[in-house]
């Protein structure tokens, strides 16, 4: 049996059950798997679609956040060593092997550095206009969207804190120009 772990953080039981869910009819974004021959990202996005929303919740379990972290770190790094999609299990094995190789500190840094890049990126001028148009220029809907985005960013911070509590997003924001 494969161990799904990052250093001493072992989520094997949770990850095994989660993989079983991906085979069921309730798995999100299953249509992405129809396109895996076109690119590895399709399979990876299928995987992320099935943990991303769970791990965004403020009540997400540590296991959900660790599994999310392994997938996110692997994705942030461009899926090292992978080019051909060969199923969810092999993707998850590779993601955890990569995150475990980085260690708790390295994986946490990967998450937070990616977040720093996203936070510092200036939105395209037309982005706000497109967002506002898509939400009917409704201030309440725009505020709700902003709150959803904040929860997504918070997920990465919470996952990084589980991996390495001594790291601080504030410190990284100050350290990177």
Kindly report the pTM of this predicted structure.
0.88
Whether the per-residue pLDDT at 123 is higher than 80: the answer is no
What b-and-e string marks burial along 81-105, b requiring 16 or more CB atoms within 10 Å of the CB?
Answer: ebeebeebeebbbbbbbbbbebebe
The predicted structure's pLDDT at residue 145: 77
Integer angstrom CA distances of residue 146 from 108, 121, 157: 24, 16, 17
Pairwise CA distance, residues 5 & 82, whole Å: 19
Q: Where are the domains of the chain?
A: 5-175
Summary mean pLDDT of the chain: 91
The predicted structure's pLDDT at residue 6: 98
Predicted confidence (pLDDT) per residue in 7-28, tens digit = 999 999 999 999 999 998 889 9
Whether the per-residue pLDDT at 85 is higher than 90: the answer is yes
The predicted structure's pLDDT at residue 19: 97
**To which H or E segment does residue 6 belong?**
strand 5-6
């Amino acid at each position: 049996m494969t161990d799904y772990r990052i250093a001493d953080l072992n989520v094997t039981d949770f990850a095994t059950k989660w993989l079983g869910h991906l085979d069921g009819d309730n798995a999100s974004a299953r249509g992405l798997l129809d396109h895996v021959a076109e690119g590895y990202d399709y399979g990876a996005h299928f995987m992320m679609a099935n943990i991303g929303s769970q791990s965004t919740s403020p009540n997400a379990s540590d296991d959900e956040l660790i599994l999310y972290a392994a997938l996110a770190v692997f994705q942030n790094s461009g899926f090292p060593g992978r080019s051909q999609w060969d199923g969810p299990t092999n993707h998850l094995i590779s993601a955890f092997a990569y995150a475990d190789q980085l260690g708790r500190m390295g994986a946490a840094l990967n998450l937070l550095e990616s977040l720093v890049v996203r936070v510092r990126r200036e939105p395209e001028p037309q982005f706000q206009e497109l967002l506002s148009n898509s939400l009917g220029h409704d201030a309440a809907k725009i505020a709700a969207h902003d709150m959803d985005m904040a929860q997504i960013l918070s997920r990465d911070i919470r996952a990084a804190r589980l991996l390495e509590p001594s790291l601080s997003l504030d410190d990284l924001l100050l350290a990177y120009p």
